Chain A
Amino acid sequence: MPALCSNCSEKRAMLKRPKTGHSLCKLCFFFAFEEEIHQTIVAAKLFKPGETVGIAASGGKDSTVLAYIMKLLNERYNYGLKLMLISVDEGITGYRDDSLETVKRNQQQYELPLKIVSYEELYGWSMDAIVKQVGLKNNCTFCGVFRRQALDRGAIMLRVDKICTGHNADDVAETVLMNVLRGDIARLRRCTAISTASEGDGVVPRCKPLKYAYEKEIVLYAYFKKLDYFSTECIYSPNAYRGYARTFLKDLESIRPSSIIDIIHSGENLSVREGVKMPVQGTCSRCGYISSQALCKACVLLEGLNRGLPKLGIGKHHRLHEKILSQQPLTENEEKKLKSGDF
């Protein structure tokens, strides 16, 4: 005899919850999954009625489930939010086509307005154009840095009050591990926060409603709800440590499934010794984005692209920032160093 749902004890159990190990029927799983996210949103006071909230939509499973759930909860519980999908188009021929198609379908399915902001619009350069100038070897630096800011720049352009992203419990746990491995104490302290307040003009407050949702459950939910998503693994891996942290986390999870949430619990309870120096968080004097230097990385890279000096911003050229800011000309030697195409 098939097992009965451990919640309603009526219907046949269809799945075993990765998070708790309980066997549930489809409806009880849906309800539990949605309700948990609702309770996270309420407990952490993520939104205020009347806000315009941009949902970062990549077409992947996390953001697809996030968009679906936000729409559903906003209606079920009268959050009073104005929701909108925001997608970033890096301008890489072929790469985004499928995922953008998915996002466009989501827009129709969920009846949510969609705004696609392109690198071209935001920076004046598409990734294809950047690759043409810098070659394939260093384009990762560019797309990583540009992507980090693209949502903020897009959100400001579209005047949204908040951005919510599809980061799930696995992502957060992975980031905790990665920051331990890198010894990045400032990020370690921040990375378990479920929301960030606005830190300067160039940054829109962000939150992670799926922070306590397991990746596996997100896939289960999308599978049983037959949600339409495009599975992209990010083709860029700007950080080798993340790969190690991910594998380690998967192994931990296979030994003890609660490891994911256990690591988040650890992260939430870490406290930094008094007197430990934290990097001073300043803002970019050109675009207002958080930056420890006078110019943020994106602005330096852009300056390099625009001047035909692509190496600027890739190495350590902080000394040149002042010159760039005050629009002083570079010396011949400096130009030469920054120009050579072969990195």
Chain B
Amino acid sequence: MCQVGEEDRYRYQQDGPASASKKCVKCKDASAALVIRAGDAYCRSCFNESFVHKFRAMLGKTRVIFPGEKVLLAVSGGPASCSMLRQVQEGVSQNAHKKLRFLPGIVYIDEGGVVGLSKEMRQKTAFELQELFTTTGFPFYILPLEQVLELPTSVVMPVQQQSEPVTGAYKAAVDHFLLHGRKNDVSPEEQENILPCDVNESQTCALQQLIGSAKTLTAREDLLNTLRHHLLVHTARSKGYSKLMLGDSCTRLAVKLLISISLGRGAQLAQDVGFSDSRYGDVISVRPMRDYSAKEIAFYSHMFNVPYVSVPSLHTKTQDKASIQRLTESFVTKLQTDFPSTVSTIYRTGEKLQTAGRSSSAAADGSRCLLCLCSLDTVTDVASALQATLISEQLSHTKIQGPESELSTAEEYCSIKGEGTCRGTGGGVVCCSSAKEVDTPDLRELMCYSCQLTIKDMSSIHHLPHYILSEAQRRHSRSLMREEIREFLLDADEDD
């Protein structure tokens, strides 16, 4: 369990009379190096052991990663993902019965272009990481975020989800592995580095334009998250990895949960912060570091010299109120100082939630968000926050007579009441903000509630990468086609 609640009670034992007498509660032999909870002192090796145990327990309990499977570790250079890398590194080199039996690879995405780092700086970081990754012997990929501009449409076309693993599938896989596996134990040396010096200047420029077209830092960070994830998923997919391992700690996930709520992502919350996220179908994201608090990780990486590289992010050196993400982070951090159980409470709230049921499995692409690929949460009851917002917009600006819309919400309500007196709310209402940019299909209707907010904050959608715009175009023409042949379709609601 996440022990963040007690983290303020972790204390390094200072040299002094008190620490000399303290023995480790686990081995009752070695002297304690840090204290977990009052009276629960651990020595170095017992702390290490419990840290390592937690990682394996998480993988064992969840049974999502199969033996022999290729797993891509997304390493950001920070202490959490670097500690995760260390766990995997030690796990695969263990002796037989304790050995982690999957085949790891590493991916690092260099976002220096977005933050405006110089080529030299980016180069330097890339070399540091290259050195770090080489020592692991795992295949690795160091990729600039600029690569996202070249992605194929397949990234945002949901792959038919593998049906939920049948009970016993995990055991079958283990048996199979024990019989036939083994031979692939040592993966062939493979690496792909597109070093910053190889990045085309014009691409960096295009990326900056794209991120810059988001007018708020909140939207910029959200967009960056989405793009980064697209590149991660694509890398995993194209290199044959079926799992993507993310280094989110329990502290990070608590912050993320609150960010998701604040950004209107309640419907996909469980996937955003859960152990596994299968919205990309054939590439499943997993978060094995979710039971460690940030402080626990900090202790670990400090005590056991886990190397990490600090990389500036979009909101480094910004004020608390620069963005929703930044605000939430500092809010949780401060609250955690006053109430040490804050993070673990929020985190446990997340554990009790699930992704809202609407067609979450085998959803057709028509009902998936164009950007984040969650099931669309925009089909809501007549009495809902979304409808209320639409009504407010309709009632607040001049109506332009557009093509007759089938169901004006306002008219519908009035007919329920049997009153015809709602002035000015009937007819096709064209929102002034969506009326511009006529040549591109209205992206908003292809997106979930929260991604729409991000797009609303953008001055132009023309800088979006080609793969996103062309997929939008494809979905748009599909729906036009469907409209045209509607009367011949027997089951008009079941799309694609």
Contacts and interface: CB of A to CB of B under 8 A. Distances in A.
Contacts of A6: 396-398, 432
Given A39-B410, A271-B357, A265 B352 contact: no
Contact of A78 (B269, B380, B395, B419): B419
A163 B251 CA distance: 41
A330 interface: no
Nearest to B381: A43
A36 B388 contact: yes
Q: What is the interface of chain A mostly: helix, strand, loop, or mixed?
A: helix
Contacts of B269: 266, 270
B263 A262 contact: yes
Interface in A131-181: 176-177, 179-181
Interface stretch (B50-58, B76-84, B116-124, B343-351): B343-351
Given A255-B327, A266-B269, A39 B391 contact: yes
Q: What is the interface of chain B mostly: helix, strand, loop, or mixed?
A: helix
Nearest to A254: B321
Contact of A270 (B218, B258, B353, B386): B353
A6 B342 CA distance: 44
A263 B258 CA distance: 10
B345 A35 contact: no
A239 to B, nearest CB: 12
Given A44-B383, A273-B353, A256 B392 contact: no
B170 to A, nearest CB: 20
Nearest to A44: B383
B473 interface: no
A324 to B, nearest CB: 32
A229 interface: no
A212 B449 CA distance: 17
Interface string A282-322: 00000000000000000000000000000000000000000
A263 B348 CA distance: 19
Interface string A17-47: 1011010100010011001100110111100
B395 A32 contact: yes
Interface in A40-82: 40, 42-45, 76-78
Interface in A179-197: 179-183, 185, 188, 194
Contact of A22 (B342, B396, B450): B396
A77 B421 CA distance: 9
Interface string B375-399: 0010011111111110111011110
Interface stretch (A97-105, A244-252, A334-342): A244-252
Q: Which of B380, B396, B397, B424 gathers the greatest number of chain A CB atoms within 10 Å? A: B396
Nearest to A258: B453
A92 interface: no
A183 B218 contact: no
A176 to B, nearest CB: 7
A273 B264 CA distance: 19
A248 B391 contact: no
B261 A273 contact: no
Interface residues of B, number: 68
Contact of B395 (A35, A176, A256): A35
Nearest to B325: A255
B109 interface: no
A265 B264 contact: yes
A9 interface: yes
Contacts of A188: 349
A110 B432 CA distance: 38
Contacts of A17: 392, 396
A337 B416 CA distance: 60
A39 B323 CA distance: 33
A178 to B, nearest CB: 11
Given A20-B393, A77-B417, 18 more contacts: A17-B396, A20-B392, A22-B396, A31-B395, A32-B392, A36-B392, A40-B388, A180-B257, A181-B342, A183-B345, A183-B349, A251-B320, A252-B327, A255-B324, A262-B449, A270-B269, A272-B354, A273-B351
Top 9 closest pairs, chain A to chain B, by CB: A266-B266, A44-B383, A262-B264, A212-B388, A269-B267, A22-B396, A32-B395, A43-B383, A265-B385
